[in-house]
Amino acid sequence: MPRPEHKEITLTIDGRDVPAIDGQILVDAARGGDIEIPVFCYEPKIGGPVGACRMCLVEIEGISKLQTACSTPVKDGMVVHTQTDRVKGAQQSVVEFLLVNHPLDCPVCDKGGECPLQDISYGYGGGKSRFIEPKRHFVKPLGLSPLIAIDRERCILCYRCVRFSQEVSEDHQLVLLERGASTFVATFDGHPYVAPFSGNIIELCPVGALTSRAYRFRARPWDIEGSGSVCNLCPAQCNVTFTVRDDRVLRVLSRDHDGVDDGWLCDKGRFAYQATHSDERITAPLVRDGDQLRPATWERAIQVASGIARHSGAAAAIVGGETTNEEGLLLGRYLRDTLASHDIDSRQGGALSAGVLRELARTDLQATVPDLEFAHTVLLLDADPVDDAPILDLRIRKGARRNGAQVLVASGRPTALDARAAVAVRHAPGSAASLVLALDAALSGDQGSASSHATDAGSDLEAINALAEALKAGGEDVVIVWGERVTDGAGGEAAAKALVNISATLGLGTREGSGLLELPRGTNGRGLREVGAIPTAGPGLSNPVAVGRSTDEIAAAAAAGDVTALWFLHADPTRDGRNTETWTRAMASAGLVIAHASTLSPELAAHATVVFPAEAGAERDGTITHPDGRIQRLRKAIGSPVDVRPAAAIIARIAEVGSGVDLGPTAGPAGTAAVSAAVSFYAGLNVDEIGGRGLRWQDRDAATNLPAGDVNGESAAPVPAASPNGALRLGTYRSIWASPEVELSPALKFLSRRPTVELSPIDAERIGVTQGQNVDVGTGADVLRATAHLRSDVPAGSIFVESGLAAPGNLPSEGQLIEVNKA
Amino acid sequence: MAQIDEDDIILVQRGPSPTVAGGFYRSFVETARGLKTTLFKVFGETQTIQYPEEKTPVYPRFRGRHKLHTFEDTGLEKCVGCSLCAAACPADCIRVVAAENDPNNRVSAGERYAAVYEINMSRCIFCGYCEVACPFDAITMGHDYELSDLNRSDLIFTKEMLLAEPIERTPLRTEDE
Ligand code: SF4
Ligand code: SF4
Ligand code: SF4
Ligand code: SF4
Ligand code: FES
């Protein structure tokens, strides 16, 4: 659905002419004219009005009864009064009525001081109550979940939380039970409300009925300061406000940004701040001494790390997704210009050529986050937003629910959006590339090659044709959301070209609201690519002087002794479950292993030479780039522990001590200026222009500096999917909860993941396991013991193993066959 | 120098210089009149209070060192750690860090209690706003005004100090004083 047209009208509120948009809700129109109408239940983010609280009553000329302003659309020439005696009388009555059952809890209530009910009672209440009967009582406080406390006596029954659960996150868990004054909020059968987005109801509740257990009694609004920044835990990069007291982060709130997060946060973003103050976090440099890492002074750590200068030509770096643009640029420069090495990678699945990357970055092909909401069709290609970039899941649901967008899914692992999808196509794990080729062929009417690619993808031609039909018939505005893993492996480049081709067939480049949106694996995956932290392109996706090795090639080269120094900047490849064994050998044989980390995996603990403590999200400063090209600022909310220093400063110091080179400015506005000087299409960008809301580089004039793409070269064909005879095809997935921050946060610990394998009930029966039993994945020394999770929508013949854990095992790559046995 | 505007110039008018008689009158008669009370008191009763051996009595509503209160029957702290006193304090000298009560081992009567409660007496201006703000009459101002110390940090009174009965050193004024 294209974005709605706006017709300007004028109405009169309290004798003042107020400009508004036809059909706008009166409360919003009044706010635009600086007139406040008090509300409790109205929250446009959740959906349509429900008119539950009656706080917003106003007088409208021509209508004899008072009307709820939250459910009245404005019309041209409407005359509204919000200050008459009748309205004031009604407001006082509503406040008195809401307080009838409300306890006098303010001194012990966590909402106190930032509570709409307090504010509205003061502002619009009559100041006294005639109610002398006993109030309604509930047991309190109770845990609605391990994260949320519920105090039912305080609830004013505005339905906000229930509507969120039913209509926004669509987890359908919260309901209102009983009727009348006995009504209360609960889950249907009393189980805890555990869902990826549950924390949002804390912010939505207009009273202290739903409060955060992690923040419980920690501070009052006058004890704290809010510090705006961006969540760096996943590529969705939601805008957040850190609540800071005594230089500690105590809470994370959403900093509503329509272009990024629509005002929501996932529970990881909301509660993982606790990892910042965890005792297990590394807060001092560590240097290897025999078989142990020991705390060392900074001078010593830098001294040891600067030994990398002796590995000129044989040094390699893996850059983790949370690295900022400034840090990525600096490390890339040092490696390429001084150490004569081109082996730097921030992707996991192999490299795409600079030409192809530029083609994918084309401004006209780029979809934005709000496009997801207004598109006619959203196609997910091997991506599950709820795990890859959680907040986008809500945005796609919003488009489908409010604007009737058609959702299409083509993925290996069943996604959370399958239930919403008009067509859901499965392919073999790791065969997304073949599927994209098949879809491309089907769209251009080449049934022959569509059929052979479909077979290669382990999918079925019929379903792919249905997908192509739905894509063509669904309307012009199409957004294709594709996961980085589509371009993994040998066929990655072919898949990328097919994507460009599909875009051309569907005319995505010609329409404003259409395009491609990639979900990278790392938070700043896009930015790191654009500043040149990849082996195939320099800063600004320019053609490199020489092409370096990609992640897997670095591992192999290091294991073979061709690379002798490894630098892990916020990365730990042994956590990903890919090539664990090669990586372990690589680390063992490398002469120097530098790591920047907050926690250590067993492999890093065993093989790292120097470990620099990494800054936590709230301690960082720099810029990161959103998957849709929005450059955003991370801003330091709290001071770091004394011995934690910015990674950029460490890189610069190592370069200075080891090689005697000055890498230039590292941080602050000058660091960002260095990035915009290096990346042609960021040219002239400075921190003031980025500001608090960020801006998309595609919307600036400098975007035309993006060099033309090149998709002409030959690319290898994808490996056909193995046929599962007896063994099973291996797929992996990384859940939203599989991250070190979750493991370190006491509040989220209950969600942290243990090795799990998802399999279909058919295979489970064959192996003889039931839900929750243990299975052994693989054979011999590499066997991984995992808990079986039966999922009926997993296709028979495939399994999906959880990755991103502290001990992920050593699995072959995606799509390979693997044996699974009952433990 | 900048030009001075005509309108900005104010002419000062001085009175005539005093005559000899007028000068004499002002130097002696007026001075003696001003010292009248002092001169008479020289012969009266001694008013000096021999502090610190002797202390000035205070009025019942005198605002001195704070006290935190407990319930007489249960012994629980009245303070629930709501921080309202800290919000009201114009000198920003109260620090409250609340925590959740353990139902089996209660500190206060409510859900929360003050795990940390500190008043920085070197900053307090003894305005009494904290006392007014407290919804539970948990904090009141006592009569003790002897708060000096040799160390600034010793002037940060902790919860234990505020809960302890202060040594009653300050005499109260009697009804007719
Ligand atoms: S718990 Fe809060 S959000 Fe939910 S209905 Fe009650 S007052 Fe509204
Ligand atoms: S969706 Fe991602 S960016 Fe947003 S709060 Fe969650 S982890 Fe952070
Ligand atoms: S008496 Fe006034 S200045 Fe002193 S602690 Fe109380 S509110 Fe603060
Ligand atoms: S002394 Fe009173 S106002 Fe201050 S925190 Fe305790 S209960 Fe609240
Ligand atoms: S805000 Fe209008 S009825 Fe609740």
Q: In what helix (H) or strand (E) does residue A543 lie, and over which residues does it extend?
A: none
Ligand 1 centroid to Cα of residue A564, in Å, is 59
How many Å apart are CA A158 and CA A39, to the nearest integer? 10
Considering only CB atoms, which chain B residues are within 8 Å of A218? Answer: 98
Q: Which of B87, B100, B136 sits opposite A217 (nearest CB)?
A: B100
CB contact under 8 A, A222 and B86: yes
Averages of pLDDT over runs of 10 residues in chain A (823 residues) are 84 95 95 95 94 96 96 95 96 96 94 96 93 91 94 96 96 94 92 96 97 95 96 96 96 96 96 95 94 94 96 95 96 95 93 94 96 96 96 97 96 95 95 96 95 94 96 94 93 95 95 95 96 96 94 95 96 82 92 94 92 96 96 96 94 96 90 95 95 95 94 88 84 91 93 91 92 88 89 92 80 86 87
Q: Is A139 on the interface with B (CB under 8 A)?
A: no
Nearest-atom index, ligand 4, CA of B98:
5
Measured in angstroms, the CA of A114 and the nearest CA of chain B are apart by 13
Ligand 5 site residues, Cβ closer than 6 angstroms: A 39-42, 51-56, 68, 70
Please tell me the number of Cα atoms within 13 Å of A192 on its side-chain side.
14
How many Å apart are CA A817 and CA A804, to the nearest integer? 20
For residues B112 and B120, is the Cβ–Cβ distance under 8 A?
Answer: no
User: Which residue from A25, A39, A72, A117 has its CB within 8 A of the most atoms of ligand 5, so it is best to mutate?
Assistant: A39
For residues B81 and B117, is the Cβ–Cβ distance under 8 A?
Answer: yes
Render pLDDT for B48-100 as a digit per residue (tens, 0 to 9): 888 888 888 899 889 999 999 999 999 999 999 999 999 999 999 999 999 99
- The sign of the torsion formed by the CA atoms of A119, A122, A126, A129 equals positive
Q: B77: which strand partners? A: B70, B108
For residues A38 and A120, is the Cβ–Cβ distance under 8 A?
Answer: yes
Measured in angstroms, the CA of B87 and the nearest CA of chain A are apart by 6
The string of DSSP letters for A308-364 reads GGGGTTSEEEEE-TT--HHHHHHHHHIIIIIS----EES-SS----HHHHHHHT-GG
Q: What pLDDT sits at residue A581?
A: 87
- With CA atoms as reference, the chain A residue closest to B135 would be A107
Task: Return all residues near B130 (Cβ < 8 A) that are at least 6 apart.
Answer: B66, B85, B86, B88, B89, B94, B139, B141
Which amino acid is present at A149?
A
- With CA atoms as reference, the chain A residue closest to B112 would be A108
Which residue, chain included where needed, has tokens 């006294």? A128
Burial category of A384 from C-beta neighbours within 10 Å (exposed 0-12, middle 13-18, buried 19 and up): buried
* Percentages of chain A per state (helix, strand, coil), in multiples of 5: 35, 20, 45
Domains and their CATH numbers in chain A: 8-98 (3.10.20.740), 134-277 (3.30.70.20), 286-348+550-690 (3.40.50.740), 363-519 (3.40.228.10), 728-822 (2.40.40.20)
Nearest alpha carbon, ligand 4 atom 6: B79
Q: Which ligand is nearest to the CA of B115?
A: 4
End-to-end CA distance of chain B: 63
Considering only CB atoms, which chain A residues are within 8 Å of B111? Answer: 108, 141, 217
CB contact under 8 A, A220 and B111: no
How many Å apart are CA A697 and CA A629, to the nearest integer? 6
User: Which residue from A28, A68, A87 has its CB within 8 A of the most atoms of ligand 5, so it is best to mutate?
Assistant: A68
Nearest alpha carbon, ligand 1 atom 8: A158
**Quick one: pLDDT band at residue B1, thresholds 50, 70, 90?**
low
With a 6 Å cutoff on the Cβ, whether B114 touches ligand 3 is no
The string of DSSP letters for A417-450 reads TGGGEEEEEE--TT-HHHHHHHHHHHHTT-HHHH
Q: In what helix (H) or strand (E) does residue A809 lie, and over which residues does it extend?
A: none
Q: ipTM value of the model? A: 0.84
Q: Which of B87, B97, B111 sits opposite A108 (nearest CB)?
A: B111
With a 6 Å cutoff on the Cβ, whether B136 touches ligand 3 is no
Ligand 3 centroid to Cα of residue B41, in Å, is 38
Ligand 4 site residues, Cβ closer than 6 angstroms: A 107; B 79-85, 96, 114, 133-134, 136, 138-139
With a 6 Å cutoff on the Cβ, whether A196 touches ligand 2 is no
CB contact under 8 A, A107 and B110: yes
Cis peptide before B52 (omega within 30 of 0): yes
Nearest-atom index, ligand 5, CA of A57:
2
**CA-to-CA dists, residue A271 to A152, A217, A238, A742, B76, angstroms:** 23, 16, 14, 8, 33
Ligand 4 centroid to Cα of residue B80, in Å, is 6
Q: Is A226 on the interface with B (CB under 8 A)?
A: no
Q: Is A225 on the interface with B (CB under 8 A)?
A: no
Task: Return all residues near A231 (Cβ < 8 A) that are at least 6 apart.
Answer: A237, A238, A239, A240, A252, A265, A269, A617
Ligand 1 centroid to Cα of residue A185, in Å, is 7
Which amino acid is present at A643?
D
Q: What pLDDT sits at residue A31?
A: 95
CB contact under 8 A, B82 and A216: no
The string of DSSP letters for A166-218 reads IIIS----EEEES-GGG-EEEETTS-----TTTTHHHHH-SSTTEEESSSTTS
Measured in angstroms, the CA of A238 and the nearest CA of chain B are apart by 30
Question: Best interface-test mutation with A: which of B100, B101, B102, B116 has the largest number of A CBs within 10 A?
Answer: B100
- With CA atoms as reference, the chain B residue closest to A142 would be B111
* Packing angle of the helix pair A298-305, A647-654 (nearest 10 deg): 60
3-state secondary structure chain B: CCCCCHHHCCCCCCCCCCCHHHHHHHHHHHHHHHCHHHHHHCCCCCCCCCCCCCCCCECCCCCCCEEECECCCCCCECCCCCCHHHHHCCCCCEEEEEEECECCECCECCCEEEEEEEEECCCCCCCCHHHHHCCCCCEEECCCCCCCCCCHHHHEECHHHHHCCCCCCCCECCCCC
DSSP E strand stretches across A678-783 = 695-696, 728-733, 756-759, 774-777
Nearest-atom index, ligand 2, CA of A240:
5
User: Which residue from A240, A268, A735 has its CB within 8 A of the most atoms of ligand 2, so it is best to mutate?
Assistant: A268
With a 6 Å cutoff on the Cβ, whether A234 touches ligand 2 is yes
Measured in angstroms, the CA of A115 and the nearest CA of chain B are apart by 14
Cis peptide before A141 (omega within 30 of 0): yes
User: Which residue from B68, B85, B117, B125 has its CB within 8 A of the most atoms of ligand 3, so it is best to mutate?
Assistant: B125
Ligand 5 centroid to Cα of residue A164, in Å, is 16
How many Å apart are CA A339 and CA A668, to the nearest integer? 26
How many Å apart are CA A340 and CA A312, to the nearest integer? 6
Q: What pLDDT sits at residue A714?
A: 85
Q: What pLDDT sits at residue A1?
A: 63
Q: Is A445 on the interface with B (CB under 8 A)?
A: no
**CA-to-CA dists, residue A452 to A193, A436, A668, B12, angstroms:** 46, 12, 53, 108
Q: Is A112 on the interface with B (CB under 8 A)?
A: yes
How many Å apart are CA A393 and CA A754, to the nearest integer? 24
Ligand 3 centroid to Cα of residue A212, in Å, is 31
CATH for B66-163 is 3.30.70.3270
Q: What pLDDT sits at residue A580?
A: 85
Render pLDDT for A529-553 as a digit per residue (tens, 0 to 9): 999 999 999 999 999 999 999 999 9
With a 6 Å cutoff on the Cβ, whether A265 touches ligand 2 is yes
Q: Which ligand is nearest to the CA of B109?
A: 4
